[in-house]
Amino acid sequence: MSEQRKAVALLVLTAVLWSTSGLFIKLIAWTPLGIAGVRSAIAALVLLCVVRRRNFTWSAAQLGGAVAFAATVILFVVATKSTTAANAILLQYTSPLWIALFAPWFLGERAHWFDWLLIALILSGMWLFFLDDLTVAARWGNIVAIITSVTFAWFTLFLRKQKAGSPVESIFLGNVLAAAVCLPFMFDGGPPAGDWIWLGALGVLQLGLPGILYAVAVRKVTALEAMLIPAIEPVLNPILVMAFQGERPGAWALVGGALVLGAVVVRAALTARGDRRLV
């Protein structure tokens, strides 16, 4: 298997693990910042144990990636708790638009016309997928989710900027920073005893391990590919929440899901084949 195909496989696995966030966060009866802090603290320990060789350069890209990651993981928990899991993940995955706008001058990676077409399909599909859930009452949660789309985009851009190095350090530092920011809230009561299993799953399976996989994969694909391929997450995330929490998408949502999956599968297939005629 080529390095590029391995990267695609790692990105798909990363998306599957990331997609458990909505369900786990909804299951935990605690404050958003408390959840975010403990989740990042556990993830930082996972990275500390798994990644033996670390290279802290303290470069602008490494620190920028850490700040963007910390902002993303904190704000996403806040958004998920404030609005529906569907809304939070939908709005976060408008990130490809920001990457397509910023990557040409920040990374020198231009988006092809085919990428813009897929972005349009993904955004249209996700809008349809969650159309029934977009309410005025959840506008503040939606605003926070939109902010996470910008921070998530810059996190990917900063990691891609370190493609010749080891971008996993940004994720480690970002988790440490997120835990430090949320530290006061981590001692504010605490979740029910039974919810600690979900917190552990969030830290290890949903944030820690996929962070390592994403850091490895992003070195072998463009920043836009690193965002487009994991876009199956916003389809899987609400499906899990629907199955266990009862949030059910409507008929338009099913059409939207088909558009998202179709666009992502086409882009991933072209990347895996190394086809550069269109991308």
What whole-number percentage of the chain has pLDDT above 90? Answer: 38
Range in 95-99, 206-210, 256-260 with the lowest mean pLDDT: 256-260
The pLDDT mean for the chain works out to 84
Asked if residues 131 and 253 have their Cβ atoms less than 8 Å apart, the reply is yes
Q: How confident is the model at residue 279 (pLDDT cuts 50, 70, 90)?
A: very low
Closest CA to 218 of 69, 74, 75: 69
**Mean pLDDT within 70-95:** 88
**Cβ neighbours for 154, distance < 8 A, ≥ 6 positions apart:** 64, 68, 98, 102
Q: How confident is the model at residue 176 (pLDDT cuts 50, 70, 90)?
A: very high
pLDDT digits (tens, 9 = 90+) for 222-277: 877 787 788 788 888 888 888 888 776 566 766 776 777 677 667 666 665 655 44
Closest CA to 253 of 127, 80, 111, 146: 127
Closest CA to 269 of 118, 148, 57: 118
Neighbours of 6 (CB within 10 A): 14
pLDDT of residue 128: 74
pLDDT digits (tens, 9 = 90+) for 106-128: 888 777 777 788 778 877 877 77
pTM across the whole model:
0.84
Q: How confident is the model at residue 187 (pLDDT cuts 50, 70, 90)?
A: confident
- Measure the CA dihedral 8/10/16/22, to 10°: -110
What whole-number percentage of the chain has pLDDT above 70? Answer: 87
**Mean pLDDT within 36-46:** 96
Asked if residues 223 and 103 have their Cβ atoms less than 8 Å apart, the reply is yes
